[in-house]
Amino acid sequence: MLESCRVSSLDAVFSLCANADDLRGRTGRAVGIVGPNPSANGAQNRAWAEALKALGVDAAYLPLDLAPSPDPSAALARLLAAWEPASGLVGLKVAPPYKEACVALRPDAADGAAKRLGCANTLARRDGRTVSANTDGEGMRLHLEESFGPLAGRAILIVGAGGAATGIVDALAASAGRIVIANRTEAKAAALAAFALRNHPAAKISAVSLAGLGAALAGAEVVVNTTSVGRQGPLEGFSALCPTELSPADNAAASALLLDGLKRPIAFASTLYRPERELLLRQAEERGHRVANGLGMWLYQAAAAAKDLLFPDELATVPVGRVAAALRAALEAQETPRPHAH
Ligand SMILES: NC(=O)c1ccc[n+]([C@@H]2O[C@H](COP(=O)([O-])OP(=O)(O)OC[C@H]3O[C@@H](n4cnc5c(N)ncnc54)[C@H](OP(=O)(O)O)[C@@H]3O)[C@@H](O)[C@H]2O)c1
């Protein structure tokens, strides 16, 4: 495979990247990760490369740092134009702020979720045409099922109504028994519920404010924090169940009170994994609930992209859980063990 590559074509792609000099020495078949600065995520990039090797896939994983541009769409358009079918670049993982541009630039290439959501996290070449997909929500769905068992018919409380929540609600709508979306800005929760219902008319999806979260929590079997609350930085040490306008101590106490009101053990997941256990997951775990942080979502969105989009032939018979496990093992082998959230 390495011999069949046209490295000169890859050079056309590299020439658009801020880190072109680091890339030019590399040759062969590759997957690129496109973003403002993906080369900063060394552990993540090495994990991808090691996992592909462990799975018997002969391809490098190249961080393509696009030169800063006020127009992400134009920058991505230039990269796509340089990406020739024979270049050796079999596909691209796509980080913000390029996810929407993927679909806007190639609307006909978008698959179901990418088309519905208007943003994609993966682009690939198949039979001479570009296809794009969004595996973020599916990544969380697969992660939840691995961690907590089948979701069919279960009552799910989604905390948050941003980009991550949108993909997750879309992926869960078909199987969940009921979804309640709770968000600080209630209007955004209502808008997300309405959007999801347009795409999944048979689903049961409703919205509440953070003030109404207590009642929704009492009826939930699985709770997913999709907000930034609890994440490393200014919001670390806060629980997403309660307002961050409170002091950290009052937020934690109010969150603990809500959890103390639960009558039976349920499951708590998050999109966050820095820190490894945000306050909400720590509090839930201390009370005997099952918890899973957001690393599994990252692993499974990557595994689904690798299996379904980037290397469908090589990985056709490899279960998606095995691809995710290879990525997890490769990450754990890194000295700096966690990829950056995206
Ligand atoms: N593990 C993974 O693979 C993965 C994938 C995607 C995202 N993520 C992580 O998920 C998190 C959310 O990402 P996103 O793309 O959905 O972001 P986003 O679109 O900006 O949405 C942010 C969400 O957090 C809420 N929020 C922010 N600050 C808040 C505060 N102080 N109090 C209460 N709610 C607050 C927002 O509520 P309002 O609507 O009220 O502003 C909104 O619901 C990020 O930390 C991201 O890194 C992880």
Does ligand 1 come within 6 angstroms of the Cβ of 15? no
Atom 21, ligand 1: residue with shortest CA distance: 162
Give the angle subtended at the CA of 149 by the CAs of 148 and 153, to the nearest 5°: 105
d(CA 147, CA 153): 16
Band of pLDDT at residue 64, cut at 50, 70 and 90: very high
Atom 39, ligand 1: residue with shortest CA distance: 185
User: For the chain, what is the mean pLDDT?
Assistant: 93
SS3 223: strand
Which percentage of the chain shows pLDDT scores above 90? 84
**Closest to 33 measured CA to CA, from 4, 6, 63, 10:** 63
Instruction: Tell me the per-residue pLDDT of 83-142, one tens digit each, with 9 for 90 and over.
Output: 876 678 999 999 999 999 999 999 999 989 999 999 999 999 888 888 999 999 999 999
The pLDDT value recorded for residue 293 is 98
Atom 33, ligand 1: residue with shortest CA distance: 184
* Cα 229 to ligand 1 centre (Å): 7
Query: Is 336 a residue whose pLDDT tops 60?
Result: no
The pLDDT value recorded for residue 68 is 85
Mean pLDDT of 73-82: 93
**Whether residue 312 has a cis bond before it, omega within 30° of 0:** no
Query: Is 4 a residue whose pLDDT tops 80?
Result: no
Does ligand 1 come within 6 angstroms of the Cβ of 162? yes
Instruction: Tell me the per-residue pLDDT of 183-209, one tens digit each, with 9 for 90 and over.
Output: 999 999 999 999 999 999 999 999 999
Query: Is 342 a residue whose pLDDT tops 80?
Result: no
Instruction: Tell me the per-residue pLDDT of 300-326, one tens digit each, with 9 for 90 and over.
Output: 999 999 999 999 999 999 999 999 999
Does ligand 1 come within 6 angstroms of the Cβ of 184? yes
* Cα 270 to ligand 1 centre (Å): 11
Query: Is 270 a residue whose pLDDT tops 80?
Result: yes
Does ligand 1 come within 6 angstroms of the Cβ of 229? yes
Of 23 and 171, the structure prediction assigns the larger pLDDT to: 171
* 3-state SS, one letter per residue, for 282-298: HHHHHCCCEEECCHHHH
The pTM score is: 0.94
Which residue segments constitute the domains of the chain, with CATH numbers given? 2-134+311-332 (3.40.50.10860), 137-295 (3.40.50.720)
Token output for 146: 């691995």
Band of pLDDT at residue 339, cut at 50, 70 and 90: low
* Cα 147 to ligand 1 centre (Å): 22
**Closest to 119 measured CA to CA, from 102, 136, 135:** 102
Which percentage of the chain shows pLDDT scores above 70? 94
